[in-house]
Amino acid sequence: MAKNIKKADLDWANLPFGIVETDYNIRYHYKDGKWSEGELTSSQFFPIHIAAPSLHYGQEAFEGLKAFETVDGKIVIFRPMANALRLQKSCERIYIPLIPEDMFIDACRKVVKANARFVPPYGTGASLYIRPLAIGVGAKVGLGPADEYMFIVLVTPVGPYYKGGFKPVKALVIEDFDRAAPNGVGDCKVGGNYAAGLKGRQYGLDRGYPITLFVDPKEKKFVDEFGTSNFIGIMGKDYVTPSSPSILPSITNDSLATIAGDIGLKVRKEPIPMSGLGKFNEVGAVGTAAVITPVNVINYRGKDYNFGNGDKAGPVLTDLYERLTKLQKGETEDKFSWLDTVEI
């Protein structure tokens, strides 16, 4: 139980989605074919060789998940096994050695426990964001995988991703810049994808759109995903989300789809033609940071497509949002065994 922990003196309800310095991060080194034991450290920095392949060739993969304080005072991590498996897939694609699931989950538990005073109190709407990353650090100038690696897990308490809370935003479809390539690494959580998405993101921001929607990079005919979140659309009683080889399989999307199926919606994972955008009643951008960001307008080739109820999210996305966030806070039954309790 986390009840007796003296919490950090923070304005929990008004935290940004940013970095707040915490007490510890945890680090593992890979050398001579094996990972070291994890070491908790309070330094926010580490020395790295200037010829590290992560710096030159982007040999880096990462994850993002959250810990919550529940209504009964426990600290839980949401679906760490799913993130462990996704990181393994990303690492495999860019030749980073396997990080065993138990090492990943143990690292998350240890760093959350060491920073328990930064887990936002129940009821504040905030959470502890967990950011694991794996990088190639051995010196190398020619192209090739590094000889040495680091696996680091840092944490930071975060408030809602968008300050307005569960309020709809406008999205702009980006066709001039791609974030991923056909047969590339769009389905992996690797750093380069995000650098590749920055230009499209800025293009949207400059025109007043907080989020951008990318189309499939091969034919430019299908919905791919938003810059840092998956696309879901509600059409009558159907929950529809793209199947595409160039999008990141979102754990939030998987969780919402599971809940949707459980409450009787039909879950459809299929290519979504851009020409079919107008058929959706509701659209959401889904990911760990915001869970669901309702989208009320998508601007595609100069035409606005409208969803939801104007300035309010539609009823189905509102219901799904409440069901998942209540489960994360322990307010409803953990029906799918998604909560990993951290022993404090």
Pick the binder of ligand PLP from 148, 216, 225, 340 (CB under 6 A): 225
Pick the binder of ligand PLP from 146, 172, 174, 251 (CB under 6 A): 251
Sequence-separated (6 or more) residues with CB below 8 Å from residue 181: 217, 246
Cβ-based nearer residue to ligand PLP, 59 or 255: 255
Per the DSSP assignment, residues forming a β-bridge with 130 are 65, 155
Cα–Cα distance for residue pair 219/215, rounded to 1 Å = 8
Token duo for residue 147: 């000889």
Site for ligand PLP in 268-307 (CB under 6 A): 287-288
Neighbours of 337 (CB within 10 A): 8
**Window of 44-52, 99-107, 228-236, 257-265 that interacts with ligand PLP by CB under 6 A:** 228-236
Helix or strand or coil: residue 286?
strand
Pick the binder of ligand PLP from 90, 229, 241, 296 (CB under 6 A): 229
Smallest gap from residue 5 Cβ to ligand PLP (A) = 27
Per the DSSP assignment, residues forming a β-bridge with 31 are 34
Per DSSP bridges, beta strands 291-300 and 169-174 are: parallel
252 lines the binding site for ligand PLP (CB under 6 A): yes
67 lines the binding site for ligand PLP (CB under 6 A): no
Cβ-based nearer residue to ligand PLP, 80 or 287: 287
For the chain, the straight-line distance linking the first and the last C-alpha, in angstroms and rounded, comes to 6
Sequence-separated (6 or more) residues with CB below 8 Å from residue 34: none
Smallest gap from residue 313 Cβ to ligand PLP (A) = 18
Binding mask 178-207 for ligand PLP (x = CB under 6 A): ------------------------------
Q: Could you tell me if 180 and 37 are in contact, meaning their C-beta atoms sit under 8 angstroms apart?
A: no
Site for ligand PLP in 256-275 (CB under 6 A): none
Smallest gap from residue 208 Cβ to ligand PLP (A) = 22
245 lines the binding site for ligand PLP (CB under 6 A): no
Smallest gap from residue 336 Cβ to ligand PLP (A) = 15
**Helix, strand, coil share (%) of the chain residues, nearest 5:** 25, 30, 45
Cα–Cα distance for residue pair 177/202, rounded to 1 Å = 11
Smallest gap from residue 288 Cβ to ligand PLP (A) = 3
Question: Would you tell me which residues interact with ligand PLP (CB under 6 A)?
Answer: 64, 225, 228-230, 248, 250-253, 287-288
